[in-house]
Every structure is written in C-alpha cells, then in structure tokens.
Amino acid sequence: MSALRSTVWFLLLSIAAVPCLCAQDRSYGRSVVATQYGMVATSQVSASQAGALVLERGGSAIDAAIAASAVLNVTEPTSNGMGGDLFAIYWEAKSGKLYGLNASGWAPKALTIDHLRAKGITEMPQFGIDSVTVPGVVDGWAKLHDRWGKLPWRDLFQPAIFYAEHGFPIAEIIHAWWDGDHDGLLTNPESTRVFLPGGRVPETGEIFRNPDVVHALTLVADQGESAFYKGEIAQAILKTSQELGGTMTADDLASYSAEWVEPISTRFRDWTVYELPPNGDGIAALEMLNIMEQFKPDTAGPHSPGELHTRIEAMKLAYADVKRYDGDPRFSKIPVDQLLSKDYAAKRAALIDPSRANCTVAPGALGTSDTTYFTVVDREGNILSIIQSNYNNFGSNVTVLGMGFALQDRGGLFSLDPASPNALAGRKRPFHTIIPAFMQRGDQHIGFGIMGGLNQPLAHAQFVSNVADYHMNIQAAMEEPRFTDRQQVGCKIVIESRVTPATIDALTKMGHVLNVHEGYTSQMGRGQAILHDSKTGINFGASDPRADGAAIPEQPDFFGAPGKQ
C-alpha cells in the first residue's frame, strides 16, 4: 500500500471513529427555546424583550404580559391596540386552577338592526363607525393586574411609551399588512394623518413614531382604566364617533366591564384541551378535535393525504355548527354541552367519506375572526395565554382623534338576521374569532394560540394533533405545514407548499380544491406557545416563523444587583 493510500485510509478510519458532530436532521427550522427562568413569546422581538425585562424586575406573568401587550399595541398597530378586544386564560401553578377572562366589548346601546335599516343598511358594515364596538383591552389589562399583578401599574407601560416616542423600525410582515390597508386608511383623515406619514406606508426598517399614542398610553399609565372609559380618552372616542354619525355614548363606555368566565374543555387522546366559552369560537376547535378523535392518526404522518383529509372534513363539520349556534350567551342559549358531546362527535364523524371531500356541509341537528397572540410564563410556572385584536387591519379604519390608535370593527361579525343567535343588539357582544388556548397532560402544561380570524380554531386543532398524535415538540408542532379555509364549509382550501406534490395530487383527486401558497404563509396565522414542566421546572418556548417574533427568556442577574436573585 502506498504511503498516500495509507494516509488516506488512516484519516478515514479516524473520522469514522469520531461521533458525528453534525446536528440531527429535522423537518422544522427553529429550535425550541428552553430555560429554567420565565419566558415571553410574542410576534415582535421588542415586545418579548420588554416582557422578559419585566420578569427580571420581579414582575409576574401578568405584569410581563401587560408590558408586552402595550408594546405590541405600538409595534403592531395593524393587528391590535387599545381600540380592540382581549381574551385570556390564566393557569395558576400553585393551585393548578384555570381562570378565563372575556374582555370583548359590546355594541353601543343604540346600535341596533332597526337603526341600521333606518339608514338604508341591509348588511352589517365591515368598516366605519357602525362596525365599532366598545374596546375591552384596557379593562382586560386592569382586571388581570388587579388580581395577579406585582409591579406598579404605571411601570408596565414605560417600554411601550418609549417605543412610541422614540420610534421603532417597521418589521417586514407588519409592513406588508400595513401596505395592504393603505386604501382603507385613506378613508379616514385621522388614520391618514397618523398611520400614513407623508401620505405613504412606512417601509420595512423605517423608523415610525406615534406621539399621539404616547399621550394615550401615558394617560392610562397615570390614571388607570378610568382614563379610557370615563376620562380624556373616552371623550376623544365620543367626539370621534359623533363626528362620524356613530351611536357610542358615555354610558356605553363607562358601564363596560370585562367578565370572568369558566374555560370549556375536551379530552383529546391523553391531553385535556381548554378554550373559552362563547361568544368566542374556541368551541369549534374542541368539536373539531372530538371529531378527529373518532379516527386513528395516519401512520404516514401529519401531512399525509389521509390525515389532512380527516382534519379538513372535521373542520367543515365543526364550523357549520359554530356558524349556526354560536353567539352571546347572555342573549341566547348556546348548546355548548351538546356540541362538545362525544356522542354528537361520533354522529358528525360518521358523515365523513374517507375518499371524497364534502363541499356542502350543513350544521348538525341539535335538541332544544387580524390579531396578536402571545403567551408568558414566570419563574413560579404561572402561564398566561392571551390574545388581542382589532379584527381587520387597523380595525374599522377609524382612528380616535388625538389618541393615535384605531377602533376595532368587531361589530362587523354581527348578523342582521333577527333569528340568528348572533343578531345585532345594543349592549350585546358579537361572535368572536380570537381565542387563547391551553392544554395539559400530567406535569406538562402548554399555553398556546394561533392568530388569523376564522382560521384560529382549525389551526389550534392541527397544533394539538401534532403534539398529541405525532409527539412533536411545540416548535415543530407550530412549524408543521398547515391548511386553512376562511369559508370553513366548502372545498376551497389554502395549503402550504411544504406539503408534498404527491399529497396535493391525492387531495385534489378526493375533490379538494387546493390553493397552494408559500411554505410559511401568514394566511395560516401566527402562533406562539410555552410549555411548563412542573416536575422539572423547565420552560420551553416556541415562536412561529410565519411572524416577526421570538420566545425570549428572562435573564438571571449576572452582576449581583442588590436584592435580586
């Protein structure tokens, strides 16, 4: 053997003897974030950092969430703000108890079907002042802080005030949404002034400042929620409404209060999954899971033709029911127990043809929603799963005079059919699409949510199945290719291109009409998740690559600040 061949052979043997130093191959991109400290996962890095800093200062999960929420109000005005609504699920580690908060607003007392018909309106307005309901975000913050806050209320708003005053660079996905609502912002002079500086949409990376929202946030920080519902901000909302011919009154604002509610749940495989009750559509996610549970997971994987077909058909059945039966339980009896019955799920599942798509799904016979989701865990393991929304980009496209935030258009989800459980009425809350979620099994507790209007329940069900059926970690489950259908009852499905061509072809032959989008399309919504293991004390965080954000852990005190561990 030549000296050269001997040398090469020796090197090959040496390499073979060394364990592989390459990373394990995997089908998802980001690593799950792990820490023994608290963590904040949001769709904007600046908001996650602000929340993590609050945790480092000794704040609770609630304190961190309010700080992150306020920053998101500034950096994602396309999706949320003080003019929107909020829902939350809180898991208290010490007691193991879950709490639900519904901070969705009601319609002004005078905003009725008869009022709109008198104006010649025959369909519920989707934009403008008649689509506006009372915003619930600020009272939601206050209710949470009163119960579990540790740090002074005023301190929690300083990061948001800083970013609004000094500016922040526009993130790329936010720029795209901002640009998509350019024409809508032009319909309201105040929206044009605040959100189209120089008459144009800010570019990606361009610094945007909002001095008006600095004023509004400072009022809330200094005076509490009363500034919003009874004080200077309330007066600005009323003036805005009056100038546009709206119906909002001082009493509509002053009488509003968020409501504590009991989460609803179902058992899926060996996990218990929780959502909030109507007027939200979390019930659709639970019913979809109940239907999916009637089938075994496809051994070919989560985006095999068989598995996707089952999920798609289960979605249609659940959504047909929700559209028929959901509404505000204070005005109509909502058949929650019947819709979540396992027997009812079995009857609905029997309607699924395993080889053919159903394009005309009807609701079952019974007896007598742009958004920002984020989640926080603190060192004690308390988890807050929280979501807030304007509904559409910049909501109603109506910006409050001198306050720098848009009012939501959540009233657009009311029906003008008097027979509907979701019929418009004064002081009634509309059907809602925004839903925080929570799931647990033994020592594992997960706060999660995925945004995107009516996409949310079906995205929740896909995430839960990825974890429960296919044993993915929360980051892999969040990144897994998803499908959506904004109509929820037909055969037109949007699906990500990471699903294989063979699967696309098989689903098409079943009758599904597929619109294939990019590998990580925001059409699927943007999710966040945090898992707390109560046995080890370790927290795991996931942030959707379909968003601009990150899961950021709090940092320990490396330099020994007095009084801090």
pTM for this structure? 0.92
pLDDT 10s digits, 117-172: 999 999 999 999 999 999 999 999 999 999 999 999 999 999 999 999 999 999 99
Answer yes or no: is 562 within a domain: no
Q: What pLDDT, in 10s, does the model give residues 454-502? A: 889 999 999 999 999 999 999 999 999 999 986 656 789 999 999 999 9
Running DSSP on this structure, what letter comes out for residue 126? Answer: S
- Average pLDDT in the 330-344 region? 89
pLDDT-based confidence at residue 509 (cuts at 50, 70, 90): very high
Residues counted in the chain: 565
Quick: pLDDT tens for 354-399: 999 998 877 665 433 467 899 999 999 999 999 999 998 899 999 9
487 lies in which domain range? 24-554
User: Which pLDDT does position 332 carry in this prediction?
Assistant: 79
Pairwise pLDDT comparison (14 vs 82), residue with the higher score: 82
Does 52 fall in a domain?
yes
Inform me whether the pLDDT recorded for 5 exceeds 80.
Answer: no
pLDDT digits 0-9 by tens, 7-65: 444 444 443 444 444 445 778 888 999 999 999 999 999 999 999 999 999 999 999 99
Torsion-angle region of residue 139: left (phi > 0), alpha (psi -120 to 50) or beta?
alpha
* Of 352, 378, 501, the residue nearest 91 (C-alpha): 378
Say if 5 falls within a structural domain.
Answer: no
- Residue 397 belongs to a domain: yes
Q: Is residue 561 part of a domain?
A: no
Report H helices in 443-547: 456-468, 474-479, 501-509
Query: Over the stretch 411-460, which tens digit does the pLDDT of each residue have?
Result: 999 999 998 889 999 999 998 888 999 999 999 999 999 988 788 999 99
* pLDDT in the model for residue 30: 87
Active site residues: 371
**What residues have CB less than 8 Å from 101, skipping those under 6 apart?**
86, 87, 88, 89, 90, 140, 143, 144, 258, 259, 260, 261
Count of domains for the chain: 1
* Domain-embedded: residue 482: yes
In a domain, 17, yes or no: no
Q: Is the pLDDT assigned to residue 400 strictly greater than 50? A: yes
**For the chain, what is the mean pLDDT?**
91
The verdict on residue 8 lying in a domain is: no
